[in-house]
Structure 1
Amino acid sequence: MDKIIESLISSGVPAIVIIAGLYFGKNLIEHFFNETIELKKKELEQENKNFQHQLDAKLQEFNVKFSSLHTERAQVIKELYQKMLKLQSSLHNIFKYEPTNFKNNNEPIVLYTNSFADFKKYYLENKIYFSESTTNKIDSFTENYSKITLEFIELIQNEGDKLNEWKILSKNSSSYTSEIINVLIIDFRNLLGVETLKQ
């Protein structure tokens, strides 16, 4: 240590200039890096704010689109459900009569046929709003209604006493349609985000 002090005293002014230069150089470098770091920090904060703003805008756009889609889907489900109930009601109305009654009054059959055609048309036009699982169930529902229709038309057109077969068809179609509609109600509620009771 004594040698360092002695060497500083003997070198004098040049040593002091070197020490002062090192000190100021160090401070200048620190100041430069601090300024650069602060500048970069501000740039990153601004980029972060811009990115956050873009994300918020995209989220808002997504929410608007999703809200609109959900509203459209809810309307489609509502109308399809109403058409389904109207179809079910018109089928039950047919079975209130005996097969021989339709020779003089085919109005219930016309109402049923129109309800069925209306249901199928609306469903096919809006099938895109439903999951594959739900469309499979609705397709099955439609196919079974077609079979029921063919069966009751055959019973109506055939001569003879078909009352027993008519009653069996009425009972089977009633239980089937109620069952599948209850299954579809659960699907519709799930699509709408409505909570269903656990069974």
Structure 2
Amino acid sequence: MDKLIELLISSGPPALLILVGLVWGKNLIEYFFKEIIEIKKKELAQNLENHKMKIEQENKNFQHILDAKLHEFNIKFTNLHSERAKVIKELYLKMLILQSSLNDVFKIKPNHINNNIHIINNFSNSFQDFQKYYLPNKIYFSEKLSTKIDIFLEEYSFITTEFTNILLEENVPIESLKPKWDKLSKDSSDYTFEIINELIKDFRNILGVEN
């Protein structure tokens, strides 16, 4: 390259003009390409920024949709949660009444039942009230608790049959009735105690309270 320049210089003014033209053309081409590159870089940067803004806006829109869906779900879940808590609480209160009426029944001596029919009626009414409330609201309870309540409802027919048999056993010494009466009392107490405990556990779970 240096030899070429020396040759052009030694060739006189025309050669110098050619040399100047070449240098100027080279610089012009470099400037032209440099400007094009800068323009393209700015275009790419702007396109990238526009794309980022578009993605951010789409993310915001999607987040708004998710937030709206979550809010809707939370409202529905909260309402269902509150309704379930209300049903459990109501059945719990009815179970306490039923348990109390059962306790009253078994405070009576077997041979004195006929003189305390009102206590038997109270038990019968409290049981019917419990059953009437439970059956249409069964869906709110866990499978474990529902199974226990269902067994209790089935056993009620057995309990009433036992009541009837005892009532029919007139003039039978109390000593012979007492074992049967005590067993009936224990079985009924066990059923109500288990159900009450399960209702308490379910209600505490809803509240987020540790058992």
Question: What stretches of structure 1 of length at least 5 have no aligned partner?
Answer: none
Give RMSD over aligned pairs: 2.7
Which structure ranks higher in relative contact order (CA pairs < 8 Å, sequence separation ≥ 6)? 2
Aligned 8 A contact 1:88 1:177 in 2: yes
- The structure 2 residue matched to 1:106, chosen from 112, 117, 130, is 117
TM-score by length of 2: 0.79
Task: Figure out how many residues of one structure are paired with residues of the other and give that number.
Answer: 196
Aligned 8 A contact 2:101 2:122 in 1: yes
In the other structure, the counterpart of 1:195 is 210
- Report how far residue 99 of structure 1 moved: 3.4
In the other structure, the counterpart of 1:94 is 105
Aligned 8 A contact 1:152 1:169 in 2: no
In the other structure, the counterpart of 1:138 is 149
CA distance in 1, matches of 2:66, 2:188: 53
CA distance in 1, matches of 2:143, 2:166: 35
CA distance in 1, matches of 2:19, 2:171: 132
- The answer to whether structure 1 residue 147 and structure 2 residue 158 are counterparts is yes
Question: What stretches of structure 2 of length at least 5 have no aligned partner?
Answer: 7-17
TM-score by length of 1: 0.84
In the other structure, the counterpart of 1:11 is 22
In the other structure, the counterpart of 1:185 is 200
CA distance in 1, matches of 2:43, 2:5: 32
> CA distance change for structure 1 residues 34 and 174 in 2, over 3 Å: closer, same or farther?
same
In the other structure, the counterpart of 2:59 is 48
Paired residues for 1:51-62 under 5 Å: 51-62=62-73
- Report how far residue 88 of structure 1 moved: 1.0
Larger Rg: 2
> CA distance change for structure 1 residues 137 and 104 in 2, over 3 Å: closer, same or farther?
closer
Aligned 8 A contact 1:77 1:188 in 2: yes
- The structure 2 residue matched to 1:123, chosen from 128, 134, 140, is 134
In the other structure, the counterpart of 2:177 is 163
